[in-house]
Structure 1
Amino acid sequence: MLSAAGLSAEEEAAYRLLVRTAGVEPAELAEELGVESEAARRTLGSLLAKGLARAVPGESDRFTAVAPDVALAARLHRRQEEVDRARQAVEQLTGEYLVHARRREAAQLIEVITSRTALREQLRLLQDNARHEVVSLCRAGHVAMTSQENTEELAALRRGVGYRVLYESVLLEEPGMLVNLAEGIRLGERARALPTLPVRMIIADGELGVLPLIQHTGGLTQLTAALIRPSSLLDALGALFESLWERATPVSLTRSESPLDSDHLYLLSLLVAGVSDKSIATQLKVSQRTVQRRITHLMEQAGAQTRMQLAWHAARENWL
Structure 2
Amino acid sequence: MNTESLLEELGLTKTEARIYLCLLEQSPLAAGTIADLTGTSRSSVYLILRSLVDKGLVDAGAGYSSRFQPAAPDVAFGGLLERGREEQRERERHVESALPDLMRRFEANAGGDGELVEILRTPKLVGDRFDRLHASSQQSIDIVVRRPVQLGGSNQPELDALSRGVRARAVYDHGLMRHPSVADNIGAWIEAGEEARVFHGDLPMKFAVFDGHTVLMPLFAPGVGGVVALIVRSRELCGALSLLFDTLWTASMPIDPDMFRHHHDHEPVTADGSHAH
TM-score (normalised: structure 2):
0.52
Aligned partners of 1:141 and 1:171 also within 8 Å = no
Letter in 1 for 2:157: E
**What do the CA deviations read for 1:53-76 (whole angstroms, capped 9, x no partner)?**
xxxxxxxxxxxxxxxxxxxxxxxx
What is the distance in 1 between the residues matched to 2:140 and 2:152?
A: 18
Check conservation: 1:177, 1:283, Cα contact below 8 A.
no
> Given the alignment of the two structures, is residue 226 of structure 1 paired with residue 230 of structure 2, yes or no?
yes
Mapping of residues 114-193 of structure 1, within 5 Å:
114-142=121-149, 145-148=150-153, 150-193=155-198
Aligned partner of residue 119 in structure 1, secondary structure: helix
**TM-aligned CA deviation for residue 176 of structure 1:** 4.7
Q: What one-letter code is carried by the residue in structure 2 that aligns with 1:281?
A: H
* CA RMSD of superposed structures (Å): 2.9
Q: C-alpha separation between the residues in 2 aligned to 1:199 and 1:118?
A: 20
Is 1:240 the equivalent of 2:247? no
- Match runs of 1:85-104 below 5 Å: none
In structure 1, stretches of 5+ residues that fail to align are 1-104, 254-261, 269-279, 285-290, 303-309, 312-320
Q: Which runs of 5+ in 2 are unaligned?
A: 1-112
For 1:168 and 1:181, the matched residues in 2 are separated by 13
More helix per residue: 1
Shift of 1:281: 2.8
Supply the distance in 1 between the matched residues of 2:177 and 2:164 (Cα, whole angstroms). Answer: 26
Q: 1:64-94: CA deviations, max 9, x gaps?
A: xxxxxxxxxxxxxxxxxxxxxxxxxxxxxxx
Identity %: 24
SS of structure 2 residue aligned to 1:165: strand
Aligned residue pair count: 160
Matching residue's letter, 1:117: K
Aligned match for 1:213, one of 203, 207, 219: 219
Q: TM-score, normalised by structure 1?
A: 0.45
Compare relative contact order (CA 8 Å, sep 6+) and give the higher one, 1 or 2: 2
Which structure is larger by alpha-carbon Rg, 1 or 2? 1
- 1:108 partner SS: coil
Residues 215-240 of structure 1 deviation map (CA, whole Å, 9 limit, x = unaligned) = 122xx743211101024222211111
Shift of 1:127: 0.1
Q: Residues 249 and 221 from structure 1, CA distance in 2 versus in 1: closer, same or farther, beyond 3 angstroms?
A: farther
Q: In structure 2, what is the Cα distance between the partners aligned to 1:164 and 1:231?
A: 19
Question: Equivalent residues in 2 for 1:1-320 (5 A)?
Answer: 108-142=115-149, 145-148=150-153, 150-194=155-199, 195-217=201-223, 221-253=225-257, 262-263=258-259, 266=260, 280-283=263-266
Q: Which residue of 2 aligns with 1:307?
A: none
Paired residues of 2:122 and 2:226 also in contact (CA < 8 A): no
Shift of 1:267: 7.2
Per-residue CA deviation, residues 206-265 of structure 1 (Å, 9 max, x unaligned), is 111100111122xx7432111010242222111111111111111123xxxxxxxx33xx
